[in-house]
Structure 1
Amino acid sequence: MAYLKPPWFVAKVFNKFAMATGVGNSETLTVTRRGSGQPQRIPVVVPEVGGIKYLVSTRGESEWVKNVRADPRVTLGSTSYLATEIPVQDRAPILTVYKPKAGRVVEGYWRKLPDDADHPVFALTPAG
């Protein structure tokens, strides 16, 4: 599966700023790294469709996606969830809501990775 590696500035500077400020509708996702068991934190924009929150990977087969597949227990802000991957054929309505919420920055990702199959999507179920 395809992956668009973020530039150094995004990975080392912008993501930290986004998590600290919530800029661009972002929230902080925490997942458990596959190898080390340590937390991985990244900013994500979380669309809600039909009362369900979703995680969308704009850059494709990212490390956080692989980590969620290995351990679907995630935290969004201070709330714990179980993440379930959505089949490719069911992603379009979620991506339709996601793109305008995420803003113009994601347009370039879809030009480079135009197929819905390139953008893993996970439904979040509260792990109460």
Structure 2
Amino acid sequence: MSAHVQKPGWFTINVFNRVVAWITRRGLSVWGSRVLAVRGRKSGEWRTTPVNLLTVDGEQYLLAPRGHVQWTHNMRAAGGGELRLGKKVDTFTAVEVADDDKVPLLRAYLKRWKAEVGVFFAGVGPDSPDEELRRIAPDHPVFRITVES
């Protein structure tokens, strides 16, 4: 597993993420945003962060543009969590996607959110060749999620 992590800066932590989370908690999705809640792997406490929910061919995915960050480690340990939009809470299970299967998901994610997160993908964009997307796949965890009914 790659150790790739791009830690967010002060503005992202203290302004951008807080604004997006605040709007999302009030029921307004910003380009597919949700508040992800997952249990901490050591503390067992709920941890939250805004994420972009990707849908491809009817399946839903969470992709970590900044790499192997805390929520990805927690997701591996917990095997699922909650996606929140306003008062709606969807409980889900998660399965990590293998690197070889990430190319179309990375491409779809970058097509939708490149303006927001493109800087985290080492110059690779939605129109890059498959080989370039394959090269960065280990740096970006992807989880297929299944919402429980």
Q: Is the 8 A contact 2:64 2:142 kept in 1?
A: yes
For the pair shown, the structure with the greater C-alpha radius of gyration is 2
Aligned to 1:93: 104
Q: Which runs of no fewer than 5 residues in structure 1 stay unpaired?
A: none
Mapping for residues 1-128 of structure 1, pairs under 5 Å = 1-21=3-23, 22-77=29-84, 78-111=89-122, 115-128=136-149
Q: Is the 8 A contact 2:81 2:93 kept in 1?
A: yes
Post-superposition offset of 1:33 = 0.8
Kindly report the root-mean-square deviation, in angstroms, between the aligned alpha carbons of the 2 structures. 1.6
Q: Which runs of no fewer than 5 residues in structure 2 stay unpaired?
A: 24-28, 125-134
38-47 or 105-114: which moved more? 105-114
Post-superposition offset of 1:24 = 4.1
Q: Is the 8 A contact 1:27 1:76 kept in 2?
A: yes
Q: Whole-Å Cα distance in 1 between the matches of residues 69 and 103 of structure 2?
A: 20
What one-letter code is carried by the residue in structure 2 that aligns with 1:126? V
- What is the count of residue pairs matched by the alignment? 128
Q: Whole-Å Cα distance in 1 between the matches of residues 119 and 68 of structure 2?
A: 16
TM-score by structure 2 length?
Answer: 0.80
60-69 or 6-15: which moved more? 6-15
Structure 1 segments of 4+ aligned residues over 6 angstroms from their partners: none
TM-score by structure 1 length?
Answer: 0.92
Give the fraction of aligned pairs with identical amino acids, expressed as a percent.
31
SS in 2 for 1:37: coil
Q: Is the 8 A contact 1:68 1:83 kept in 2?
A: yes
16-25 or 32-41: which moved more? 16-25
